[in-house]
Structure 1
Amino acid sequence: MTQERKVALVTGASRGIGAAIAQQLIQDGYFVVGTATSESGAQKLTDSFGEQGAGLALDVRNLDEIEAVVSHIEQNYGPVLVLVNNAGITKDNLLLRMSEDDWDDILNIHLKAVYRLSKRVLKGMTKARFGRIINISSVVAHFANPGQANYSAA
């Protein structure tokens, strides 16, 4: 790895596992860009990270936003060398009552966004000859709960 500044992108960094991962990466010397679904959430991340990171708003379902956020990171901080795909939601309902939109939202956030973000950052990782992509999953993938067909499928 030839970069002086090591940049990590953590989706869903505003709370829980994502927040803990972001803080650990900062302790490990990374400049962390954490994403949140709102501008206010992104600002809280920026305030929390101080000079060791920044928060950005991102709807991971939106390809244009993914492109804009990754381009912004590359232009302002450097290539993303570590990507943590952590963003996730639940929209639980019995399959008989689940709307197709709820099914699609879960798959778009948990699967399609992982593909899109990973593909987008790979060029910078390849050029830097270093990169790590970490995908956060759930035990529900193996031990499903009632009403979580979409979540466990994703």
Structure 2
Amino acid sequence: MSEESRKVALITGASRGIGAAIAGVLADAGLIVVGTATSQQGADKINDALSSRDGRGRVLNVTDVTSIDALLSDIRADLGDPLVLVNNAGITQDNIIMRMKDDEWQSVIDTNLTALYRLSKACVRGMTKARWGRIINITSVVGSMGNAGQSNYAALKRVQRAWLDLSPRAWVKIYYRELRRSRLY
């Protein structure tokens, strides 16, 4: 398969856990994978894991519009539009509600929901133009059942699920697979 015909996959939070596993599987399937991490050390780890399969690691702050725009501009210039997006990056700010600070609440919203929207919006035009694309959003069972001290995280995972359930009318297909455990930090 020539590089011009290979699909580009963008995976957030790809330096470890579920994101790293997905990056490896997609690279093995022949996609050009761009995995992101919050630090240069994480991006280097992705490079080490994927460089032999034409993958690369990049630093991305998913909560910063300028960072998102710059990354997508670089990807488009070097490789073309990402036709696969895996919204995997996520954080927890665990605390019981009466002790939770506003910034703990907001950082989870910005990372786990607003970033999902911004990245999806930034990629969907290229997918529409190509008449092919996939957006995969990684959620959590915590969005269905809750967890002590994780009201912010659980609420956002529930909202992610609602967004997935409602979006098919516009452009998303939902595939449910068996649950895999991974550590989230």
Count of residue pairs the alignment pairs up: 152
Residues 114-136 of structure 1 deviation map (CA, whole Å, 9 limit, x = unaligned): 00000001111111111000000
Distance of 1:144 and 1:54 partners within structure 2: 35
Question: Does residue 116 of structure 1 match 2:118?
Answer: yes
The Cα shift of 1:28 comes to 1.0
Structure 1 contact 103–150 (Cα < 8 Å) conserved: yes
Structure 1 contact 94–149 (Cα < 8 Å) conserved: yes
- Percent identical: 55
Q: Can you give the 5+ residue segments of structure 1 that lack an aligned partner in the other structure?
A: none
Question: Does residue 101 of structure 1 match 2:111?
Answer: no
Q: Partner residue of 1:69?
A: 71
Q: Partner residue of 2:49?
A: 48
Question: Does residue 130 of structure 1 match 2:132?
Answer: yes
Distance of 1:5 and 1:128 partners within structure 2: 13
TM-score by length of structure 2 reads 0.80
| RMSD (CA atoms) | 0.9
- Which has the bigger relative contact order, CA under 8 A and spacing at least 6? 1
Structure 1 contact 7–78 (Cα < 8 Å) conserved: yes
What amino acid is the match of 2:72? V
Q: Can you give the 5+ residue segments of structure 2 that lack an aligned partner in the other structure?
A: 157-185
Structure 1 contact 5–78 (Cα < 8 Å) conserved: no
Question: Does residue 145 of structure 1 match 2:172?
Answer: no
Local SS of the residue matching 1:142: helix
Structure 1 contact 8–30 (Cα < 8 Å) conserved: yes
Local SS of the residue matching 2:6: coil
Over 4 Å off, 4+ runs? none
TM-score by length of structure 1 reads 0.96
What amino acid is the match of 1:79? D
Q: Partner residue of 2:9?
A: 8
